[in-house]
Amino acid sequence: MKVAVIGTGYVGLPTGVVLAQLGNDVICVDKDPAKVELLAGGTSPIYEPGLEELMRKSTAEGFLTFTTDTAAAVRASDIVFIAVGTPPGEDGTPDMQYVKAVARDIAKAIDHPIVVVNKSTVPVGSGDLVENILKEEGADPALFQVVSNPEFLREGTALWDTQNPDRIVIGAKEKGAADKLVELYGPLNAPFYITDLNSAEMIKYASNSYLAMKISFINAISRICEACGANVADVAKGMGADKRIGAQFLGAGLGWGGSCFPKDVQGLIKISEQYGYDFELLKEVWNINEDQTLHFLNRIEKRLGGFSGKTVALLGLAFKPNTDDIRDAKSLVIIDEVQKKGGKVKAHDPIAVSHVSKIFPNVEYVEAIYDVAQDADVLILVTEWSEYKQLDLNRLGACMKQKVLFDGRRVYDRATAEKAGFEYYTIGSN
């Protein structure tokens, strides 16, 4: 099939690359000429394991091309995906300006029957919004149908998730439009859930908000565990063994971040308000998450006797491993708080340093992992990159001023850390 994907970010690019891998003729569109030039040259502007290699392969085989020309891409395609950002506004409401702009561009180019697919995470009613824009801009209603096809990708495993979806949700008004998507995704052998537009849009928000709720719940339990002497890892293991609950998303830590959970939780809260429902449960999910990192920092500050004059070493900056994304990364909160209180920050991350250094240029960034611990008063594990899990703790501690380790992701074994001479602290145990 002939496909256009408008937007080449964490959703659009993996989507376009995988569809090209399946043998479709895919045109990826981006307004930024420099970004398109980068992509056409075989370099991905985002870090996602395996993405760049597959992108180069599909480009070399002629299935994948890149352009800034939205109109030409639309005219050459049967299915057009809208995969641009919908960042939260100041009040948490999803900002639809990019979706609206793309819809206007698409409308001007429609000259044959196409299916327009909302792949971006959008509020309930966005399918109708796009349809109305297309009509208002003069597109012939007989030539287009609008479909909602929410993504369920996890950064760091986005390529695998696109290739191996556990379900494909399609919201449509007409069966023929849904059938087009079923045909497109057929080679992936995933179950399809065909719904109306509003239900498909709600599935995305409800799914991510529920997962965020599970994380906030176990983090709330971790606070009680710290106070009463229980171990949250054991609690989570016992809970997760119950098939009604399941073990996924019960890992206590510094809280959720990234581009999806914060935006979607805020988005669903705002959507609920617009329809007259005060989603108090979800508001508390948000509050627990906001407080989790600050609570951890308070424990560190208390142990050090304040941050003033202290050197704080961070292992990890990205919001999660295997991505360079720092949106709502907990490292940013930690750096900001430590520096405000007179502390010095040293940091290491395999990928995300270039992004964080633009926000905090006065952090000391190191290339060699062990150098981060030199003369540090405390070492904080922030992101559970695989290269951090097998570090020689004796070597790390040997060059520190104080051998104090705060494990924000429960990566290290307490007995091993203490054998290496560390005072060891983590989430959800005393």
Q: Identify whether residues 172 and 212 lie together within a single domain.
A: no
Say what the pLDDT of residue 348 is.
Answer: 98
* Last residue within a domain, chosen from 139, 164, 195: 195
Q: Domain of 425: which CATH number? A: 3.40.50.720
Q: Identify whether residues 337 and 286 lie together within a single domain.
A: yes
Give me the sheet containing 25-29, strands edge to edge.
64-67, 25-29, 2-6, 79-82, 114-118, 144-148, 168-172, 192-195
Q: Identify whether residues 425 and 413 lie together within a single domain.
A: yes
Say what the pLDDT of residue 72 is.
Answer: 98
Q: Which two tokens mark 422? A: 């560390």
Q: Identify whether residues 210 and 115 lie together within a single domain.
A: no
User: What is the pTM assigned to this prediction?
Assistant: 0.92
Give me the tens of pLDDT residue by residue for the chain, a chain 430 residues long: 999 999 999 999 999 999 999 999 999 999 999 999 999 999 999 999 999 999 999 999 999 999 999 999 999 999 999 999 998 888 878 899 999 999 999 999 999 999 999 998 888 899 999 999 999 999 999 999 999 999 999 889 999 999 999 999 999 999 999 999 999 999 999 999 999 999 999 999 999 999 999 999 999 999 999 999 999 999 999 999 999 999 999 999 999 998 889 999 999 999 999 999 999 999 999 999 999 999 999 999 999 999 999 999 999 999 999 999 999 999 999 999 999 999 999 999 999 999 999 999 999 999 999 999 999 999 999 999 999 999 999 999 999 999 999 999 999 999 999 999 999 999 998 7
Q: Identify whether residues 306 and 401 lie together within a single domain.
A: yes
Q: Which domain holds residue 181?
A: 2-195
Whether 28 is a known active-site residue: answer: no
C-alpha span between 180 and 160 (Å, rounded): 23
Q: Give which of 239, 242, 211, 212 is closest to 225, Cα–Cα.
A: 239
Q: Identify whether residues 279 and 405 lie together within a single domain.
A: yes
Q: Identify whether residues 346 and 205 lie together within a single domain.
A: yes
Q: Identify whether residues 338 and 376 lie together within a single domain.
A: yes
Say what the pLDDT of residue 92 is.
Answer: 78
Q: How many domains does the chain have?
A: 2
Q: Identify whether residues 323 and 345 lie together within a single domain.
A: yes
Say what the pLDDT of residue 372 is.
Answer: 98
Say what the pLDDT of residue 121 is.
Answer: 85
Neighbours of 358 (CB within 10 A): 9
* Last residue within a domain, chosen from 133, 164, 195: 195
Terminal C-alpha separation, the chain: 57
Active-site choice (225, 228, 260, 399):
260
Q: Identify whether residues 320 and 381 lie together within a single domain.
A: yes
Give me the sheet containing 311-315, strands edge to edge.
364-365, 344-348, 311-315, 378-381, 404-407, 423-426
Q: Which two tokens mark 426? A: 């983590």
* Last residue within a domain, chosen from 168, 195, 222: 195
Q: Which two tokens mark 86? A: 């919908």
Q: For 119, left (φ over 0), alpha (ψ -120 to 50), or beta?
A: alpha
Q: Identify whether residues 180 and 320 lie together within a single domain.
A: no
Say what the pLDDT of residue 262 is.
Answer: 93
Q: Identify whether residues 321 and 179 lie together within a single domain.
A: no
**Which ranges of 275-419 would DSSP assign to H, the alpha helix?**
280-304, 330-340, 353-359, 386-389, 393-398, 414-419
